[in-house]
Amino acid sequence: MSGAAMLQVQGLCAGYGPIDVLHEVGLEVRAGEIVSLIGANGAGKSSTLRCISRILRARAGSLRFEGRDLGALPAHEVVACGLAHVPEGRRIFPRLTVRENLEMGAYRRNDRDGITKDLHHVHALFPILRDREKQQGGTLSGGEQQMLAIGRALMSRPRMLMMDEPSMGIAPILVARIFEAVKQLRAEGMTILLVEQNARAALRLSDRAYVMETGRITLAGTGAELLQDRRVQEAYLGD
């Protein structure tokens, strides 16, 4: 890809209490790319996204988004910079309606016409959310809640979207729909950093990818290169 580096992570270290979980992590995402971060459970993938979105405080290293230092920003200011995070487990508001959940994604905005336009875009991407807009979020299936979490993030009008395990615990037919939506968003110009348990599907989608093991980046390459890498095949693809 020829795009400029939109996100740059260098020397990232972080942990929980006395336990270090990230060790000198470095990666970059260029404008217009889909970049995947794959690895075993507990490798540090979700913690990396949490650091980038400032939910988890880094102990060392630098985080830059479009040239801006994210290191001192609170999480809501990261969203305001144009970087949205779809968290693992979806984290929707179960007692709010589908429509109210989507509106929460636009809580920092006051451009009413733009919000309406983006709501129509989300409905076009996931028509079920339009059909269920008066239902409480907690009554949706797991796959529908994942669509809602993605839609809520899109309502902040991000330039980059981070998605953490979007296929986890979801029926295969809805997984396929979500991956189609990811491809559509990329075609529309969205930059995406994807953490995904289905390594094969993630690598097929991705321009580039990183492999994480025990809190460190151990391999990097294009999606096609890593699909053919024997180490990746043996560890993550079941080949």
229: containing domain:
5-237
Whole-angstrom distance, CA of residue 191 vs CA of residue 176 = 20
CB 118 within 8 A of CB 106: yes
- Report the C-alpha gap between 189 and 31 in whole angstroms: 8
pLDDT of residue 186: 93
pLDDT at 53: 95
Alpha-carbon distance of 24 to 216, in angstroms, equals: 7
Query: What is residue 168's predicted lDDT score, i.e. its pLDDT?
Result: 86
What is residue 172's predicted lDDT score, i.e. its pLDDT?
A: 87
Q: How many domains does the chain contain in total? A: 1
Mean pLDDT by 10 residues, the chain (239 residues): 80 95 97 95 95 95 95 90 90 94 90 93 95 94 93 96 91 88 94 93 95 96 95 84
């529908």: which residue's tokens?
A: 144
The pLDDT of residue 3 is 63
At 159, which amino acid appears?
A: R
Global pTM reads 0.92
Per-residue tokens: 68: 């801006």
Tokens linked to 225: 């290169």
CATH of the domain at 185: 3.40.50.300
pLDDT for 158: 96
User: What was the pLDDT predicted at 239?
Assistant: 57
User: What's the pLDDT at 122?
Assistant: 96
Report strand pairing: 216-222 vs 208-213. Answer: antiparallel
